[in-house]
């Protein structure tokens, strides 16, 4: 969503950091370009004016212009300004769910992703906070709305249940029944998924107000579609006038809109953004963090989100099995297939690269090397075309076997050779780690183009499953890509 804005700001900052000294005129010209970039990104005009005013006050000063690295100083000031625009580093984004059953009321227009978001937040609370959650649909008008929520509850896991559907009941009656069921069932959290409309009307707001009086929710979250731009901001403002909202959830943040709604929302409404939704899957939900989002917009990556995604996919049993093999210096094609599958679960190659610092250059390198998630799927297909014995002992793969595997996977023999080369490089790293322990791991990573300083930056050595660290990454070559995958570091 922020790609266009990131590219524009990156170009502006490249011009600043490439100079040894900055004049006040240079900074003013850069701020003028930043102003245009924000307006083109559909950020509300009053928000842009306030942002530029605050940044200019700090950036056009003797301390910045005379500093050793004035360009970097300006970037930091812009970063801090973005953080403030998004609510500040200490904004309260956690849900208040202390006294069970805590009621969370979901509001929003039809088509904003309200029901799906209800399921996503419920799954997150059940999985991460071990909460027992009950979902109740109050939408008696939209066809199959109640059935949709029941299906989402089944998909969210055993700690998430849906209120049984009773035909003919009105929203107020369903609310009272849900409150009773939550108390009797010992649920920690009750979600009330209210009905939406294609536009705000008096009947919808009156119904929502009545439900709020009955349920007395701890949180009233408005779900807004980020693709609607400034309309989403106006919707939030009008809802807040009639209903005491406590937070916002922006959906479709992986879309191709310009991102202005996300940047304007907090400043215009005064409400904290709690979550950002991406995709239709139940795990497509990120907790909002102003500093991390500002870092992404400025192309500085978001390592914390990457670690969280890796942690979500973490499998204790597989990790222990992998650790034993690492100690023996073993790494077969079954292990490589596991790594590729975990990369897909973490958002694919593009999703992972987007969270790393310098993502723009890495994505450009991927594009020039014709690398995308389809390549990962082809590599999985190649491994799936092998026999169990071949996956366990890659040394068996002679020319005739490689030709058979290529035909089975629908790829060329060269593609099979590239995959085997990548596996060999990863296997060599495993052997070094197995022989030398931590020292061997550091030497292996250094040989793959990853310095100890890089490791320290990337979460102080945090181990990432899915081939993203902890001795499981073949390293990034000079072009920012893994070796064996589009021209990375060669042996």
269 is in an annotated binding site: no
236, 248 Cβ separation under 8 angstroms = yes
> How high is the mean pLDDT of the chain?
78
198 is in an annotated binding site: no
252 is in an annotated binding site: yes
> Which residues constitute the domain of residue 328?
314-443
- Looking at the fold, whether 208 and 283 belong to one and the same domain comes out as yes
402 by Cβ neighbours in 10 Å (0-12 / 13-18 / 19+) ranks as buried
In a domain, 474, yes or no: no
Measure the CA–CA gap between 202 and 92, rounded to whole angstroms.
Answer: 31
414 is in an annotated binding site: no
Structure tokens belonging to residue 385: 């075309």
Q: How confident is the model at residue 61 (pLDDT cuts 50, 70, 90)?
A: low
110 is in an annotated binding site: yes
For the domain that residue 28 is a member of, what is the CATH number?
Answer: 1.20.120.140
- Looking at the fold, whether 80 and 121 belong to one and the same domain comes out as no
193 is in an annotated binding site: yes
Taking 70 as the threshold, does the pLDDT of residue 227 lie above it? yes
In a domain, 141, yes or no: yes
* Total domains present in the chain: 3
Taking 60 as the threshold, does the pLDDT of residue 176 lie above it? yes
Position 109 scores a pLDDT of 87
259 is in an annotated binding site: no
Global confidence as pTM:
0.67
More confident residue, 221 or 359: 221
Radius of gyration of the chain (CA): 26
Residue whose entry in the numeric block shows the structure tokens 């450009």? 364
- Looking at the fold, whether 324 and 422 belong to one and the same domain comes out as yes
180 is in an annotated binding site: no
- Looking at the fold, whether 261 and 154 belong to one and the same domain comes out as yes
113 is in an annotated binding site: yes
What percentage of the chain reaches a pLDDT higher than 70? 74
Count CA atoms within 13 Å of residue 475 on its CB side. Answer: 26
94 is in an annotated binding site: no
Last residue of a domain, one of 59, 86, 113: 86
| Mean pLDDT on 449-463 | 41
In a domain, 264, yes or no: yes
- Looking at the fold, whether 52 and 108 belong to one and the same domain comes out as no
10 is in an annotated binding site: no
- Coil, helix or strand for 280? coil
- Looking at the fold, whether 167 and 284 belong to one and the same domain comes out as yes
More confident residue, 301 or 155: 155
402 is in an annotated binding site: no
- Looking at the fold, whether 318 and 252 belong to one and the same domain comes out as no
For the domain that residue 250 is a member of, what is the CATH number?
Answer: 3.40.50.300
- Looking at the fold, whether 235 and 319 belong to one and the same domain comes out as no
- Looking at the fold, whether 195 and 261 belong to one and the same domain comes out as yes
326 is in an annotated binding site: no
Position 461 scores a pLDDT of 34
Structure tokens belonging to residue 287: 């907790």
């Amino acid at each position: 969503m922020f790609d266009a804005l990131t590219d524009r700001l990156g170009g502006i900052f490249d011009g600043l950091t490439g100079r040894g000294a900055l004049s006040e005129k240079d900074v003013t010209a850069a701020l003028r370009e930043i102003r245009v970039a924000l307006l083109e990104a559909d950020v509300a005009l009053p928000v842009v004016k306030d942002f530029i005013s605050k940044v200019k006050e700090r950036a056009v000063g003797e301390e910045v212009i005379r500093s050793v690295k004035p360009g970097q100083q300006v970037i930091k000031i812009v970063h801090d300004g973005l953080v403030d625009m998004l609510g500040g580093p200490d904004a309260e984004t956690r849900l208040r769910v202390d006294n069970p059953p805590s009621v969370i009321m979901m509001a929003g227009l039809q088509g904003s992703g309200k029901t799906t978001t209800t399921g996503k937040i419920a799954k997150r609370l059940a999985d991460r906070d071990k909460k027992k959650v009950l979902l109740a649909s109050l939408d008696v008008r939209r066809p199959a709305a109640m059935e949709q929520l029941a299906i989402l509850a089944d998909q969210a896991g055993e700690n998430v249940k849906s209120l049984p559907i009773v035909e003919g009941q009105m929203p107020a009656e369903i609310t009272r029944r849900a409150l009773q069921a939550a108390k009797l069932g010992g649920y920690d959290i009750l979600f009330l998924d209210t009905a939406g409309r294609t536009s705000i009307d008096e009947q919808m707001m009156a119904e929502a107000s009545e439900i709020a009086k009955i349920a007395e929710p701890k949180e009233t979250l408005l779900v807004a579609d980020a693709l609607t731009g400034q309309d989403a901001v106006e919707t939030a403002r009008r809802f807040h006038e009639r209903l005491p909202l406590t937070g916002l959830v922006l959906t479709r943040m992986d879309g191709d809109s310009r991102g202005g709604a996300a940047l304007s929302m907090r400043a215009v409404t005064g409400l904290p953004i709690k979550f950002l939704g991406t995709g239709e899957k139940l795990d497509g939900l990120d907790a909002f963090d102003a500093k991390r989002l500002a870092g992404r917009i400025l192309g500085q990556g978001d390592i914390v989100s990457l670690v969280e995604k890796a942690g979500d996919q973490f499998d204790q049993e597989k990790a222990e099995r992998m650790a034993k093999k690492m100690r023996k210096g073993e790494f077969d094609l079954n292990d490589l297939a596991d790594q590729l599958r975990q990369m897909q679960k973490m958002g694919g190659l593009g999703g992972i690269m987007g969270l790393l610092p310098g993502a723009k250059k890495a994505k450009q390198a991927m594009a020039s090397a014709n690398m995308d998630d389809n390549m990962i799927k082809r590599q999985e297909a190649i491994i799936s075309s092998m026999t169990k014995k071949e996956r366990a002992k890659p040394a068996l793969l002679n020319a005739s076997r490689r030709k058979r595997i290529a035909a089975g996977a629908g790829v060329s023999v060269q593609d099979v050779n590239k995959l085997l080369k990548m596996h060999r490089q990863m296997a060599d790293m495993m052997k070094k780690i197995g022989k030398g322990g931590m020292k061997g791991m550091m030497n292996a990573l250094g040989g793959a183009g990853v310095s100890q300083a890089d490791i320290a930056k990337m979460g102080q050595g945090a181990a990432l499953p899915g081939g993203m660290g902890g001795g499981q990454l073949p390293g990034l070559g000079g072009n920012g890509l893994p070796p064996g995958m589009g021209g990375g570091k060669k042996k």
